[in-house]
Copies of this chain bind each other. A is one copy, B any other.
Amino acid sequence: MTATTRPLHLHPDRLFPSDPVQRDIARRLHAQVVGLPIISPHGHTDPAWFAGNAPFENPTELLLLPDHYVFRMLYSQGVDLDSLGIPRADGSRAPVDPRQAWRVFARHFALFRGTPSSTWLAQVFHDVFGLSVQLDAGTADYYYDHINAALQTPAFAPRALFERFNIELIATTESPLDDLAHHAAIIDSGWHGRVITAYRPDPVIDPEHEAFPTALQRFGELTGEDVHRWQGYLRAHRQRRAFFAAMGATSTDHGHPSARTADLPPAEAERLFDTVVAGKASAAEAELFRAQMLTEMAAMSVDDGLVMQLHPGCFRNHNRGLFQRFGRDKGADIPLRTEYVHALKPLLDRFGNHPDFRLILFTLDESTYARELAPLAGHYPALLLGPAWWFHDAPEGMWRFREQTLSSGGFYNTVGFNDDTRAFLSIPARHDVARRVDCAFLAKLVAEHRIEEDDAAEVAVDLAYHLPKRAYRL
């Protein structure tokens, strides 16, 4: 530590309005939700952590390398990914001491001022690790040593943290090709923590994924179905969905470039599938196939009760040079303008009024909140709105979500919060931010005499706890 060390506080009123009337209401509402267990129905933590319960490796591996919110910001300001030791596409890795990478991060920490990362990290540092000075170049080594030491203690093992975080349930996300061995191990271990999976079939549905042919091959081996024929392929999905459901899954998840759906006559769907399997699908045919598969997935959801989630509208791996050097998921995913009204009609024409069907819609295009999504969810019984997602899960984004969906959609066509993260240690902070923003939003409504405080308190509890459980059938 140096002479410039600055104290690290978490103010109890953080994210609340400074107006005393609103702040007092927000405090009272927050008191109703602060102790509620965490429901995390959509995310990307690694089930191996909870199966093996091995200690996390070091601060860099735990907090820096898996967090693309963090390293994309560093990269945008000229920090090469090699200087952080990010694994490369060819499996190699620059020979970087993790402490050295941590120092680079610490030196650039001012870049995060005002961003959600700085809010989440402050809470991780303060609440999880008990740190009371701020991270900067002068405290980098102190941080590294302090966190490193903590990670070797039993209190920082994955299961201990899960319990300390008051997580009632967490969902991970797996490919149909996953054997769910870690989930099985968790169940077999007798540990009471609920870690369930979600069925994410993109790799065996997207003909444009580079690994599609091999994934399909493996899909067939795993299921014993003739997955190169349409009916066998659909049966294989049904079989894996049933397996996932048996292992605890209550939902599927679909990350498509657009929200387009289709409802082709069976013979046409079969012909399209043949073209796809033959590796001859044009870009338009690939898009049509993904569209058709959303409707097929919906049909299966009606049968097996898995709640369907659609996360559309991202241009993945936009940075060609970086993709070549470092591969997928390196912070170069960019949201796209996304259309829902025409896109979803084929699927909704079939299942939009079905009492057993449920589709949770997400967007990265905020211009659709008030224009398309809230009007759709405020009408169709099958539709609910997922929370502000990814680039939009900052306080401002959450606030825009509420402001732009409330009038047509209300609170009760939304599903509460998703943390959607692989940054396990930030999960309490992320839920805390969401709860605080919802309480602040409700406090404004109360202060402006649009809702009574006891109703607002009920809404706050519903958003934090009951709505996600109901929406995801947990």
Q: When the two chains form their complex, are residues A450 and B14 in contact, meaning their CB atoms are under 8 A apart?
A: yes
In Å, the complex CA distance between A456 and B407 comes to 27
Tell me the chain A residues, 350-374 only, with Cβ under 8 Å from chain B: 352-353, 355, 364-367, 370-372, 374
A325-351 vs B, CB cutoff 8 Å, 1 = contact: the mask equals 000000111111101011001001100
**Residue A45 lies at the interface, judged by CB distance under 8 Å to chain B:** no
Tell me the chain A residues, 380-400 only, with Cβ under 8 Å from chain B: 380-381, 383, 391-392, 394-397
Which residues does chain B contribute within 8 Å of A153, judged by CB atoms?
none
Which residues does chain B contribute within 8 Å of A411, judged by CB atoms?
113-114
**Residue A282 lies at the interface, judged by CB distance under 8 Å to chain B:** no
In Å, the complex CA distance between A217 and B50 comes to 72
Of the residues B72, B315, B370, contact of A397 by C-beta under 8 Å: B370
Q: When the two chains form their complex, are residues A410 and B341 in contact, meaning their CB atoms are under 8 A apart?
A: no
Which residues does chain B contribute within 8 Å of A15, judged by CB atoms?
448-450
Tell me the chain A residues, 76-99 only, with Cβ under 8 Å from chain B: 76-78
Q: When the two chains form their complex, are residues B16 and A18 in contact, meaning their CB atoms are under 8 A apart?
A: no
Tell me the chain A residues, 255-297 only, with Cβ under 8 Å from chain B: none
Of the residues B110, B355, B374, B396, contact of A391 by C-beta under 8 Å: B374
Q: When the two chains form their complex, are residues B334 and A372 in contact, meaning their CB atoms are under 8 A apart?
A: yes
**Residue A21 lies at the interface, judged by CB distance under 8 Å to chain B:** yes
Provided the pairs A11-B449, A339-B337, A379-B334 are in contact, do residues A410 and B366 lie with their beta carbons within 8 angstroms?
Answer: no
For the complex, count residues of A whose C-beta is within 8 A of B: 93
**Residue A211 lies at the interface, judged by CB distance under 8 Å to chain B:** no
Chain B proximity of A134: nearest CB distance (Å): 8
Q: When the two chains form their complex, are residues B410 and A113 in contact, meaning their CB atoms are under 8 A apart?
A: yes
Q: When the two chains form their complex, are residues B404 and A450 in contact, meaning their CB atoms are under 8 A apart?
A: no
Q: When the two chains form their complex, are residues A18 and B11 in contact, meaning their CB atoms are under 8 A apart?
A: no
Q: When the two chains form their complex, are residues A334 and B376 in contact, meaning their CB atoms are under 8 A apart?
A: yes
Tell me the chain A residues, 307-332 only, with Cβ under 8 Å from chain B: 315, 318-322, 331-332
Which residues does chain B contribute within 8 Å of A339, judged by CB atoms?
337
Q: When the two chains form their complex, are residues A353 and B73 in contact, meaning their CB atoms are under 8 A apart?
A: no
Chain B proximity of A346: nearest CB distance (Å): 10
Provided the pairs A370-B391, A391-B374 are in contact, do residues A115 and B410 lie with their beta carbons within 8 angstroms?
Answer: yes
Q: When the two chains form their complex, are residues B364 and A371 in contact, meaning their CB atoms are under 8 A apart?
A: yes
Which residues does chain B contribute within 8 Å of A412, judged by CB atoms?
77, 110-111, 113
**Residue A13 lies at the interface, judged by CB distance under 8 Å to chain B:** yes
Q: When the two chains form their complex, are residues A407 and B116 in contact, meaning their CB atoms are under 8 A apart?
A: yes
A6-48 vs B, CB cutoff 8 Å, 1 = contact: the mask equals 1000010111111101100000000000000000000000000
Which residues does chain B contribute within 8 Å of A392, judged by CB atoms?
370, 407
In Å, the complex CA distance between A200 and B339 comes to 30
Chain B proximity of A26: nearest CB distance (Å): 10
**Residue A439 lies at the interface, judged by CB distance under 8 Å to chain B:** no
**Residue A455 lies at the interface, judged by CB distance under 8 Å to chain B:** yes
Which residues does chain B contribute within 8 Å of A396, judged by CB atoms?
403-404, 406-407
In Å, the complex CA distance between A353 and B456 comes to 48
Query: Of all chain B residues, which has the CB nearest A354?
Result: B321
A116-133 vs B, CB cutoff 8 Å, 1 = contact: the mask equals 101100000000000000
In Å, the complex CA distance between A293 and B197 comes to 50
Provided the pairs A114-B411, A407-B115 are in contact, do residues A381 and B75 lie with their beta carbons within 8 angstroms?
Answer: yes
Of the residues B14, B119, B355, B459, contact of A78 by C-beta under 8 Å: B355
Provided the pairs A341-B315, A370-B366, A396-B406 are in contact, do residues A413 and B76 lie with their beta carbons within 8 angstroms?
Answer: yes
**Residue A220 lies at the interface, judged by CB distance under 8 Å to chain B:** no
**Residue A112 lies at the interface, judged by CB distance under 8 Å to chain B:** yes
Q: When the two chains form their complex, are residues B76 and A378 in contact, meaning their CB atoms are under 8 A apart?
A: yes
Given A110-B455, A333-B375, A334-B376, 4 further pairs, Cβ under 8 A: A75-B379, A118-B451, A396-B404, A396-B406
Provide a sorted-by-A list of 7 A–B residue pairs whose CB atoms are within 8 angstroms.
Answer: A113-B412, A315-B342, A318-B341, A320-B345, A334-B372, A336-B372, A366-B367
List A residues at the B interface (Cβ < 8 Å). 6, 11, 13-19, 21-22, 72-73, 75-78, 110-116, 118-119, 315, 318-322, 331-337, 339, 341-342, 345, 348-349, 352-353, 355, 364-367, 370-372, 374-381, 383, 391-392, 394-397, 403-404, 406-413, 442, 444-445, 447-452, 455-456, 458-459
